[in-house]
Every structure is written in structure tokens, then in C-alpha cells.
Amino acid sequence: MCGIIGYIGKENATPILIDGLKRLEYRGYDSAGIALLHGGELAVKRSVGKLINLEQLVEREHLDGSLGIGHTRWATHGKPSEQNAHPHRSGNLVLVHNGIIENFLSLKHRLETEGYRFSSETDTEVIAHLLESYMKKGLSLREALRAADSDLRGSYAVAAICVSEPDVIVTTRSGCPLVIGKNGKGSFLASDVTPLLAHTRNVVFLEDGDIGILTSSDISVIGSDAQIVNRASVTIDWDADAAEKGGYPDFMLKEIHEQPQVIMDTLRGRFNYETGEADLPDLSMTAQELIEARRIWIVACGTSWHSGLVGKYLFEEMIRKPVQVDIGSEFRYREPMIQKDDLFIAISQSGETADTLAAAREAKKRGARVLSIVNVVGSTLARESDGVIYTRCGPEISVASTKAFTGQVMALYLLALHVGRVREVLSAEEGRWWLDQYTALPGRVEAVLKQEADIVRIAEQYYSKNNFLYLGRGINYPIALEGALKLKEISYIHAEGYAAGEMKHGPIALVDEDMPVVVLAPRDRLYEKTVNNLMEVRARSAPVIAFGFEGDQELSRVSEVVVPIPEVHPLLTPILFAVGLQLLAYHIAVFRGLDVDRPRNLAKSVTVE
Ligand code: AGP
């Protein structure tokens, strides 16, 4: 997720663009850049790292101009660097882009045969050369954007300016947000309303296929039928802080609700439905290396360790491949029996967690191949790994990890499919079946999110309790652990996750009417046993909060309340349960009046031991 911005008007664009990018930094902050058109000259300034670096660069250079575009980057293709920073240029045209172009490699090859030379690793540069190639054929900037629109596959919001049309900014979107607006001094565009609020509260949200035309005095929209379309203006009454959170009260709730998009983005362009295969070019491992991997290890910390545990059940049940899962701080000090030809998978949202990094280095030293599942492009772990699968969650601001967990599990689903197909454990038909399930998950997560009002009522009933127990079996035992961790870290309530079958080995001594027990009970092959465990705690007067399949009347009869999730294959329940448990923890913490985005004692990335 990146942030784009544009301005054309009577004022100096530089401070407007820089201030606007500050408002968009929460969307990405590994590099930034602006381009200004002044006196027939295009000036492009880009810098790596925080926006302050660009601000200082621009101050030194005294950049002026009444027409410009800007960008703050969250890398998806190509590490954070000045070369990969936006805006990207082709001839006398520059552009900025938010999104992911799925078919950028085939377009890049086509443009290279037309003589274009690429200076970056990004998918965005393809769009710049594509537009320029159309303008060379006599098309105007807006016509070139329309023509490029039919070539591009993926998600994008693009803004472009060029020397030959110094009185206009042209912008379009497909699958990524884009908003435009104007006041008496100029016209504005941005990825969301946040940067516009300082200038106007009346905005127009573009729709997919729309082309926005901005001049210094007006804004207009051309629809996909090439006709002027009258998009209604909306008055925004959020303050800037609320706008950064997309209107949500906290980043955590915003990020919980971003999960359908995260699933789509993490899957985007990474499978071939015809062959029923995953397509993971960054893996940098041959099928033979994956087939010959003697053992698979997954090592991580905290929530990432929980997604690793989900991966264990996934690999063992979906493709019959044994997996050893370890906590980073344990693995690194245990003289692990890892050997050459083993596959070591490190999972980390930040890519900077000290214990996970140390474990990966230990594995590498012992000759294993290291694959990492990471959210931050160019992070230490990503750079030190032999192969990477990036989760495309955008920045996860809230300390409590939610959408990153979902991205990690989606990456593991893709990896399991990939290994299953290269090891010929899964047929093409079975591969297509799994891909149908994966691509249906965003809709199923939406169905869980629709339970939020009922979950709020559950939170209101139980937020004053001081102890919770979370029970799950099989692939949902890690989800019981994750649900308990979410509650612990943001509500400060003591909560334990347990394998449901472990109740009789001690924990049941804790159970009484003051201990709510959350039970994950999908109708899988362990359902009856899970319901038996549920009855055991109920017999000790514990209130039972069950999460189960829609329409499960039997579960309703033995629980105080049931949160229904869509009925899916048991191996696909973890994300759906996790989203429900994230909402439960979030609303309990809110009822307890706590700062859910910045819980006490915690840091977003534990870069020390
Ligand atoms: C999860 O909600 C916590 N914030 C924490 O457990 C986190 O998952 C852990 O520190 C690992 O971080 P990483 O994914 O960046 O490596």
C-alpha cells in the first residue's frame, strides 16, 4: 500500500505535496519522491527512508512549481532504494502509482523489444514507459492512460504529468482508492482524503475505470465509456487523525477490516488457475530443491509463531510433509538438529525480530536453505534469506498483529499448494479446487466481519472478567493460542490458549463461573471431541463462547453464545476464526478503556533479545 498525491493550481505545489505526503506516511514509508513541472522543465526528487529525507532534499534544492505529483512507498516489487522510489519517468512524462501490476513482466519484455531501457526493479516503471509509448503514437496523456488501462492487469491508482501538457494532471484507478477535490486555488488528488482535508472537505471518490482530469481551476471525470461522468461530491467531516485511520477509531480496527484486501493482494498474480499451481518467483528455489528438502522447519515469534504452527498442520495434512515448528528464542540456543538440505522457513511481519533473525542465521550456518515470509520488503530477514514470499499487507501500524497474521497464513497456503504440486502430491484438479477455496476467502472473511455487532455484545458481557481460556483442536489449536495472545496484549486480561484435549490434564481445575471459555468448534472430524470438552467446562459453570459453522444448532444448545463463521474445509478455518477472535479482543479492550494501538510494555518490532 503506497500513497500518491497531486496538485495543480495558483500556489507553489512543493509545500502542498510534502505536507500531503506527511499525511500519507502511514500508507508506506520506505522511500518518497515528488515531481514538479516548472517553466517547461520536469524536476524529479526522490529519497530513501523517512519523508524527512525528501523534505530536506527539496528544501536544499528550492523546488518550485504550480503542478506536481508525489509518492510515499511501501515496497512490493524491488527493495527500498532511490532507483525504485517513485515518481518514475519515461521521456517527458512522470507518474506515481499505488498498487500491484500482475502482468508487469510480460509488459516489460514487450517494452524492452520496443527499445525501452529500465532503471528500476519496480512494476511501476512499466506503466511510465507504456504511457510514453502511446504518446509517441500521437495519443494525448488522457488517451494514453485509457489505452494503458486495457493493457494492465492488477490493482492500481496512477497519477501522471508530462511536459507537453503543462496544464493538466491525469489520474485513474483500478482496485485502489483515489480521491480528487478542488478549492478556489487549485485541484488536488490523493490516495485518500487525509491530505485534502487541509484544502477542501468536498471530495469526489473515483470509481474503477474513471479517468480524473485536474486543471488549476477545475476537476472532471471521464467514465470507462469515454463520456464525462458526474461523480457526486462528498463532504468529509472526519478530522485528519480519523482520516489516517480510514474513519476507524484505531489502526487496529482498520487493519482487522483490511484483511479481505490483504488476502486478495497476497494472492494477486501468484497462481496459475489452468495448471492449478502457485507462482512464487521470489522463492528462488527450484522444484528439485523443494522436493529434496529433507525436513521443513518453521521458526518465528509471537503471532508469527502461531501462523507457523498453522503451517505445520497445513503441510502435514494437505501435502503429507512433516514440519518442525520452533520459537525463535528456543531454536537459536538449543543446538538444533538442522542440516544441509533442510528447508528453514522464518516468518516475521517486520523482518527485524532479533530472535527470528538469529535463528535464521543459525540455520544458514548449518547449511539449510532459508526461506522467509515477510511483510517489509528489504528488511534484514528478507535480505539475508535465500528466498522470500512477501505478504502484501501494507504497513501494520497497530502493535497487535492482525492482518499480518492473515497474510502469513495465506503465504503458507500458497507455499503448501506449490510444494504439493511440485511433489505431485496434489493433482492439477486438486490445485484448482484449493485455488477456488483461497480466492473465496475474502468474501468469507467479510461474513465474519459482519458479526462485529454481535461480538461487541459478547465483549460487553465479559470484558470485566480477569481470566479467559481459549480451546481449539488440530489446526485451530494455534488459533486458540493466537486468540489468547490478542486478548492478553491489548486488554491485559490473563488468557491461556490450550489444546482442547488437554483440559483434563490440569487446566480444568481453573474453570468456574468466572472464567469464560472460548471454544473453536468447526464441524470437522474432531467436532464431537471438542463438544465433549465444551460440556466438561460447562459442567463446571463456565460461560462458553463458541465459534462454529453457521447453522450449527447443536453447538448453540451447549453454549452461552455462538459466533457463526461460513462453513469451509477445516484447513481453511484458521483465518476465519482468527478474525472473529481479533474483534473479540479488540472490543473487550475498548470496553476496558485501553489504548489498543499502543499497549503497555510492548513494541511493534522486538529487535533486541
Ligand atoms: C503480535 O500481536 C505481537 N505484536 C508479537 O507477538 C509479534 O507477533 C512478534 O513480536 C513477532 O513479530 P514479527 O512478526 O515482526 O517477527
At 338-394, the pLDDT tens digits run 999 899 999 999 999 999 999 999 999 999 999 999 998 878 899 899 999 999 998
Instruction: Give the integer Cα–Cα distance in Å for 567 and 278.
Output: 24
Distance 311 CA to ligand 1 centre (A): 16
Q: How many Å lie between the centroid of ligand 1 and the Cα of residue 583? A: 18
Band (pLDDT 50/70/90 cuts) for residue 246 is confident
| Cis preceding-peptide flag for 80 (omega within 30 of 0) | no
The pLDDT, as a whole number, for residue 285 is 84
| Ligand 1 site, residue 496, Cβ cutoff 6 A | no
Ligand 1 pocket residue status of 155, Cβ below 6 Å: no
26: confidence class by pLDDT, cuts 50, 70, 90: confident
Instruction: Say whether 22 is catalytic.
Output: no
Kind plus residue range of the DSSP H or E element containing 417: helix 403-422
Atom number, ligand 1, closest to the C-alpha of residue 485:
2
Any atom of ligand 1 within 6 Å of the Cβ of 353: yes
- Which pTM value belongs to this model? 0.85
Q: Is 162 a catalytic residue?
A: no
Q: CB-based contacts of 37: which residues, under 8 Å, 6+ apart?
A: 43, 65, 67, 68, 161, 163, 166
The pLDDT value recorded for residue 584 is 98
Cα diameter, the chain: 81
State how far the alpha carbon of 123 is from the alpha carbons of 84, 101, 153, 161, 173, in Å: 10, 6, 11, 18, 16
Under the banding of pLDDT at 50, 70 and 90, the label for residue 289 is confident
Element (H, E) at 72: strand 67-73
Q: Do domains 3-244 and 260-442 have the same CATH topology?
A: no
Task: Provide the grid cell at 346.
Answer: 522464518
Looking at the CA of residue 402, tell me the nearest atom of ligand 1. 2
Please tell me if the CB atom of residue 415 comes closer than 6 angstroms to any atom of ligand 1.
no
Q: What is the pLDDT of residues 43-61, one digit of tens each?
A: 999 999 889 999 999 999 8
302 in contact with ligand 1, CB cutoff 6 A: yes
pLDDT of 244 above 90? no
Judge contact between 354 and 331, C-beta under 8 A: no
Name the architecture of domain 260-442: 3-Layer(aba) Sandwich (3.40)
Q: How far is the CA of 246 from the centre of ligand 1 (A)?
A: 24
pLDDT for 406: 98
Which ligand 1 atom minimizes the distance to the CA of 302?
6
End-to-end CA separation in angstroms for the chain: 30
Q: At 321, is the secondary structure helix, strand, or coil?
A: coil
399 lines ligand 1 (CB under 6 A): yes
Answer yes or no: is the C-beta of 356 below 6 A from any ligand 1 atom. yes
Considering the chain, what is the average pLDDT of its residues? 94
- Please indicate whether residue 348, judged by its CB atom, sits closer than 6 Å to ligand 1: yes
- Binding site membership of 303 for ligand 1 (Cβ less than 6 Å): yes
Of 307, 349, 479, 492, the one to substitute when testing ligand 1's pocket (max ligand atoms within 8 A of C-beta) is 349
Q: Residue range 265-282: average pLDDT?
A: 93
Provide, rounded to the nearest whole percent, the portion of the chain with pLDDT above 90.
83
Backbone angles phi, psi at 518, to 5 degrees: -95, 125
pLDDT of residue 454: 98
64 or 261, which is more confident?
261
Predicted confidence at residue 89, as pLDDT, reads: 97
Per CATH, the architecture of 451-591 is what? 3-Layer(aba) Sandwich (3.40)
- Give me the pLDDT at residue 592, please: 98
Pseudo-torsion of CA 145, 149, 155, 160, nearest 10°? -10
Q: How confident is the model at residue 247 (pLDDT cuts 50, 70, 90)?
A: confident
CA of 388 to the centre of ligand 1 (A): 18
Spacing, Cα 358 to ligand 1 middle (Å)? 15
Look at residue 484 in the predicted model and tell me its pLDDT.
98
Q: In the CATH hierarchy, which fold is given to the domain comprising 3-244?
A: Glutamine Phosphoribosylpyrophosphate, subunit 1, domain 1 (3.60.20)
Residue nearest to atom 5 of ligand 1 (CA): 302
What does 327-364 look like in DSSP terms, one character per residue? EHHHHTTS-----TT-EEEEEESSS--HHHHHHHHHHH
Q: What's the mean pLDDT in 287-300?
A: 89
Is the distance from the beta carbon of residue 243 to the nearest atom of ligand 1 less than 6 Å? no
pLDDT tens, residue by residue, 180-198: 999 999 999 999 998 999 9
The pLDDT tens digits of the residues spanning 470-489 come to 999 999 999 999 999 999 99
CA 429–ligand 1 middle distance (angstroms): 36
**Cβ–Cβ < 8 Å for 462, 517:** no
User: Measured in angstroms, how far is the CA atom of residue 525 from the centroid of ligand 1?
Assistant: 31
Q: How many residues does the chain have?
A: 609
Residue 607 has pLDDT above 80, yes or no: no
Quick one: DSSP state of residue 196?
Answer: G
Q: Which of 2, 162, 176, 301 is catalytic?
A: 2
- Mutating to test ligand 1, I would choose from 299, 310, 327, 353 the residue with most ligand atoms within 8 A of its C-beta, which is 353
Q: Which of 347, 401, 485 to mutate to test the pocket of ligand 1 (most atoms within 8 A of CB)?
A: 401
Percent of the chain with pLDDT over 70: 100
- Whole-number Å distance, alpha carbon 113 to ligand 1 midpoint, is 45
Q: Residue 565 pLDDT more than 90? A: yes
Count CA atoms within 13 Å of residue 214 on its CB side: 31
Angle between helices 573-591 and 477-491 (to 10 degrees): 20
Q: In this structure, are residues 179 and 204 in contact, taking their beta carbons and an 8 Å threshold? A: yes
For the Cβ of 400 lying below 6 angstroms from any atom of ligand 1, the answer is yes
Angle at which helices 259-267 and 403-422 pack, to 10 degrees? 30
- Which member of 50, 79, 185, 604 is catalytic? 604
| pLDDT of the residue at 110 | 96
Counting from 1 in the atom list of ligand 1, the atom nearest the Cα of 602 is 4
> What's the mean pLDDT in 76-96?
93
Give the model's pLDDT for residue 239: 79
- Could you give the CA distance from residue 342 to residue 366 in angstroms, rounded to a whole number? 9
**Residue 483 Cα to ligand 1 middle (Å):** 14
The position carrying cell 483490511 is 258
- Cα(255) to centroid(ligand 1), Å: 15
Q: Rounded to 5 degrees, what are φ and ψ at 399? A: -60, -40
| Protein residue whose Cα sits closest to atom 10 of ligand 1 | 302
What value does the mean pLDDT take over residues 576-605? 93
- Closest listed residue to residue 513, CA positions, set 546, 469, 473: 469
CB 350 near ligand 1, within 6 Å? yes
**CA–CA separation, 436 and 446 (whole Å):** 17
Domain boundaries, the chain: 3-244, 260-442, 451-591
DSSP summary character for residue 217: S
User: Looking at the predicted structure, is the pLDDT value of residue 242 above 90?
Assistant: no
Confidence of residue 434 (pLDDT cuts 50, 70, 90): very high
- Determine if ligand 1 sits within 6 Å of the CB of residue 489: yes
